[in-house]
Amino acid sequence: NIKDFKKGFDCTGFIHGMMYYLGYNSYIKRFNTYSLYKKLLRDKDYKLIYQSNISSIKNFDLSQLKVGDIVMWPSGIRDAKNLPNVSTFGHIGVVSNIKNNIPYITHFVRSDAYNNLDIFENKGPGINTLKAETFITLKQRGVLNIFRKKNHV
pTM score, whole prediction: 0.79
How many C-beta atoms lie closer than 10 Å to residue 116's C-beta? 8
In a 10 Å sphere around its CB, with 0-12 CB exposed, 13-18 middle and 19+ buried, how is residue 73 labelled?
A: buried
Q: Is residue 53 within 8 Å of residue 59, measured between CB atoms?
A: no
Q: Which of 2-11, 15-24, 41-50, 126-135 has the lowest mean pLDDT?
A: 2-11
Name which residue leads in pLDDT, 9 or 17.
17
C-alpha dist (Å) from residue 150 to 45, 58, 72, 97: 5, 25, 18, 18
Quick one: pLDDT at residue 94? 93
Tens digits of residue pLDDT in 107-139: 887 777 777 777 777 766 778 888 888 877 775
Q: Using the 8-state DSSP alphabet, how is residue 117 labeled?
A: G
Percent of the chain with pLDDT over 90: 19
Quick one: pLDDT at residue 1? 43
| Region 39-51 average pLDDT | 90
